[in-house]
Amino acid sequence: MRVLLFLLSAVMTLTVQDKRTVKAECAWPKDMKATYYNTGSKGSVTSKDTATLTLSRLDGVEVEKVLVYVRSNKSSGAGVITMTADGKQLYRNEGTYMEWFGAYNNTDYQPIGWSGEQTVSTLEVQVMGTTNSLHIEKYEITWTEAQAQAYSVTLMTDGVSEVVQETEVGSGIVLPKRADKDGWFFAGWTSSELTEATDEQPEIWQAGERYYPKKDVTLWAVWTDVEPPTGERQAAPEDGYYVLELFDYLLTGDVNNGLMKLEEREPVDAGELYYLDFNTADTTCTIRNWASNGYVGYNETATELRQAESVWHYSVLPDTTWLFIAKEEGDKVWILYRKFEQEVVWLSDYTLGDHPKGAWRLYRVPDPEQTPMWWCHPNTEGVVLTNEGVNELTNERVIPWGPFELVIKNGRKVLRIRE
C-alpha cells in the first residue's frame, strides 16, 4: 500500500493577458498545461460570450480552492460560472453581480468560486455571459501536490498490455513508438481508450517524450488516419500547405527610421492559416489567407503590408529559416521577419549579409480539407464522424491536431497554431 504525503498548499494565479492567453504566476504543478480562450475581447464576457480556462496534466494534484475575480460594468451584469473536474461538474453559479456580491461595483474585481478537496487531472473553469457585461481579471487556484513516488505506466496496444516502471522517483518513462498499420499513422499515447473513431483528438503524448506519471496510470496507443505534422522546419518548398505565423498582427503600419513594427490587433481575431503558393523556377511565392482567400502584399515602396496580391521573393537561410523579401534595391532588400525571442514582426531594410537572426519558421501541414480521425483500435472500416467537441453556443468545433487546431464553423475550416 502506497502512502501519499502532501506538501503545503500553494496558490497559483493566472492573470488574463488577452483573449487567448493567461500568465501563470507563483507556484504551479510540474507538467501542467494551461489553455484559455475567450470569444469576447480580453477579459470581457458580454451576452453569449464564453471564457474558458482549462488546466490539464494535473494528475496527483489536490485542488482546495478555485476563484474567478470578476467585476461588471453594469448593475445587471450576469452570467453562469461553471467548474468541472475531469468532466464532472464541481461548481455552478448562475446569477447577477448584485446577487453574487450584494452590491454593484464597476471598479474592483471580486472573487467568486468553489472550495473543498478534490483530486484533479483536468480542471475547466467556464464563465458564460448572459447580460452585459462581466470582466475577468484573474484566476486563483489553491492546490497541493503529492510527494513524488516511483510509479508504473501500463501501455495498452490493441488490448495487449506492457507495464513499465520508473527506475527511480521522478525519473519518468520514455514512451515507445508503435508501428503504423492499415493506412493509420501512430500518433502517440493517450490517457483514455478510444473504442470508436472520433474526429476530436484527445490529449496525446508523443513517442520519444519522457512522461512523468504522478500515479500508476494506463496509456493507450492511438492512431490517426491523417499523417500528423512533423513539426520540422522546411528547408525547401514542396507541394502542399505550410503554416506562416502572421496571425495576430496588423497588415499595415508606419515606417520609422527604416523599420516598421507590426502592431498586435485588438481584439485578436480568430486564428488564421496563411499558406504559400510557390513558383520554384524563379524563387517567388504568394502568401494567401486560407479562410478569406485574400493575399498578403505590400505597397509599391515596400513600406507597409496590406491585403493585396503581391509576389514575394524568398530566401532559405543555412539554419533552414526563411526570409520573405518585399523589394530589392541595389544591395538593399525589404525583409519581413520576426524576432522569436520577442515575438515581434518587423518589415525592415537590410542587406542579405546582415539579416536578422530567426526570420520565419515554416512548417508543413496536412491539407486543411482533411478532417483527421483518431482511434485506439484502428482499421479501415467503420469510421464515422461524431459531434463530440462541438461548442453549442458558438456552433464551433475545435479539433486539436498536433501543434495545430482545426476549427470548423458553419462548414468552413480554419487551421491555426495552438497556444
pLDDT value at 343 more than 80: no
Q: Given this model, what pLDDT does residue 312 score?
A: 85
Mean pLDDT of the chain: 77
pLDDT in tens, 385-407: 444 455 656 667 776 665 666 77
Q: Are residues 170 and 287 located together in one domain of the fold?
A: no
How far apart CA 216 and CA 370 sit, in angstroms, is 36
Q: Is residue 1 part of a domain?
A: no
Q: Are residues 162 and 225 located together in one domain of the fold?
A: yes
Q: Is residue 3 part of a domain?
A: no
pLDDT value at 1 more than 60: no
Q: Are residues 14 and 141 located together in one domain of the fold?
A: yes
Q: What pLDDT band is residue 300 in, cutting at 50, 70 and 90?
A: confident
Ranked by mean pLDDT, the top range of 85-94, 223-232, 336-345 is 85-94
Q: Given this model, what pLDDT does residue 51 score?
A: 92
Q: Span 313-319, mean pLDDT?
A: 78
Q: Span 187-198, mean pLDDT?
A: 90
pLDDT value at 290 more than 90: no
Its domain, for residue 389, covers 148-229+371-393
Q: Given this model, what pLDDT does residue 177 score?
A: 93
Q: Given this model, what pLDDT does residue 80 score?
A: 95
Q: Is residue 408 part of a domain?
A: no
Higher pLDDT, 237 or 98: 98
Look at the chain and report how many structural domains it folds into.
Answer: 3
Q: Is residue 401 part of a domain?
A: no
Q: Are residues 100 and 66 located together in one domain of the fold?
A: yes
Q: Which of 32-46, 125-139, 149-163 shows the lowest per-residue confidence on average (mean pLDDT)?
A: 32-46
Q: Are residues 69 and 28 located together in one domain of the fold?
A: yes
Q: Is residue 320 part of a domain?
A: yes
Q: Are residues 132 and 153 located together in one domain of the fold?
A: no
Using a pLDDT cut of 70, give the percent of the chain over it: 67
Q: Are residues 131 and 248 located together in one domain of the fold?
A: no
Considering 145, 175, 196, which residue would you say is the last residue of a domain? 145
Q: Are residues 124 and 19 located together in one domain of the fold?
A: yes
Q: Are residues 249 and 348 located together in one domain of the fold?
A: yes
Q: What pLDDT band is residue 271 in, cutting at 50, 70 and 90?
A: very low
Q: Are residues 154 and 54 located together in one domain of the fold?
A: no
Q: What pLDDT band is residue 95 in, cutting at 50, 70 and 90?
A: very high
Higher pLDDT, 287 or 99: 99
Q: Are residues 85 and 122 located together in one domain of the fold?
A: yes
Considering 119, 145, 171, which residue would you say is the last residue of a domain? 145
Q: Is residue 402 part of a domain?
A: no
Kindly report the CATH number assigned to the domain that includes residue 194: 2.60.40.4270
pLDDT value at 78 more than 90: yes
Q: Is residue 112 part of a domain?
A: yes
Ranked by mean pLDDT, the top range of 263-272, 358-367, 378-387 is 358-367
pLDDT value at 329 more than 80: no
Considering 117, 145, 173, which residue would you say is the last residue of a domain? 145
Q: Which of 103-117, 125-139, 176-190, 198-212 shows the lowest per-residue confidence on average (mean pLDDT)?
A: 198-212
Q: Is residue 276 part of a domain?
A: yes
pLDDT in tens, 219-257: 999 998 877 665 566 666 666 667 665 544 444 555 555
Q: Are residues 269 and 339 located together in one domain of the fold?
A: yes
Q: Given this model, what pLDDT does residue 356 score?
A: 64
Higher pLDDT, 88 or 281: 88
Kindly report the CATH number assigned to the domain that includes residue 67: 2.60.120.380
Kindly report the CATH number assigned to the domain that includes residue 272: 2.80.10.50
